[in-house]
Amino acid sequence: MALLTMIRKPKVDSSVDPLTEDGAATGPVSVHHWPDPAKPAALLVPRYVRDNKAAAGTQRHVYAGLGATALGVVAAVVTSILLAHASSADLIAAQAVQGSAQTKVDNLSSIASYYDGLEQRRLATESLLITDIKHAALFDTLYRSLPAGVTLGSYSTAIGAPCAGPNPFVSPNNIGCLAVGGTADSPSDVSAMLQNFKKGAAADILSEAFVTQITGAGGAGGSTSFTVNVNFTSDAFSLKYVPAEDAAAAAAKATAQVLANQIGATP
């Protein structure tokens, strides 16, 4: 009760001069007018005692605050340590799972290498043999295109080097040239041969034939010799070493390759 009385804010009578009161009791306490005529006994306690009591109270509050703070700090420390330990345990578990999976993968690494090697060889052979030409089909087509009276004397292939054709204004998709030589009964047979090159299966694989020389008029007892350059198209690629579904792309790639003089790709 005494403490509450001390804490309660007293009214201050400013009209009273504190210096007129008891000289030993200076300060605002001595000039207070308390609502209750019965003044608290605390007023009779000397000031230093009251100050000490107040200081002790403040000290208790400070100690209490510090204690609460310390408690909070300890709680925070413990919580952080527990969380860190929990994370460490989780990390160890996760690393164990990862390590286990890695071990299993490592155990199968030779299988991975084997498959990689197989794939590497498959791709390498495909890329090397992509330019394979159907020479037998070319020869057969050429032979079947010879009309009666024409004899094939020679032919040679030049893969990746198309010959100049009869039309200088277009760039047909030729991949090589056959230089054909032979004899005929007459120049008209040579003309018939050129027409045959444009018919049926020959038209797909042969293109842009051009006669570079005809000698001899033929006829009775005579003969005509000729040389013809005839190009062959990308239909001449066998593509038997590439998957069927990749044929179109492979033909384009092979065309680019032979035209870049990478015939058979010499490492």
Partner 1 sequence: MTAKQQKTITIGVVVGLVLAFGAYFLVIGPQLTKRAEDRAAITDADAQAVALVGQLATLEAKRDAMPDAQAQVAALTEKFPNSYQQDQWLQMIMTTAKDSGVALSSIAPTEPSSPGADPLAPAPAAGTAPVADAAFPIAQSSVALSASGSSAAVARFIKALENMTRPLLIDSIEYTGATSGQGASISLTGKTFLSRPLEAPVPAAAPDPATGQ
Query: Considering only residues 236-265, where is the footprint of partner 1 by CB under 8 A?
Result: 238, 241, 257, 262-265
Nearer to partner 1, 33 or 144 (CB): 144
Report which DSSP code applies to 169.
Answer: T
CB 2 within 8 A of CB 41: yes
For the window 12-51, what string marks contact with partner 1 as x by the rule CB under 8 A? ---------------------------------------x
Nearer to partner 1, 167 or 261 (CB): 261
| Structure tokens that stand for 128 in this block | 């090397």
CB of 169 to partner 1, least distance (A): 30
CB of 241 to partner 1, least distance (A): 7
Query: Considering only residues 173-212, where is the footprint of partner 1 by CB under 8 A?
Result: 182
| Among residues 2, 3, 41, 66, the one that binds partner 1 under rule CB under 8 A | 66
Report the alpha-carbon distance of residue 43 to residue 22 in Å, rounded. 13
| Structure tokens that stand for 2 in this block | 């005494």
Report the alpha-carbon distance of residue 239 to residue 246 in Å, rounded. 9
Query: Considering only residues 119-148, where is the footprint of partner 1 by CB under 8 A?
Result: 120-122, 124-125, 127-129, 131-136, 139-140, 143
| Structure tokens that stand for 246 in this block | 């990749």
Q: Which helix (H) or strand (E) holds 228?
A: strand 224-233
Report the alpha-carbon distance of residue 90 to residue 107 in Å, rounded. 26
By CB under 8 A, is residue 76 in contact with partner 1? Answer: yes
For residue 94, the one-letter residue type is A
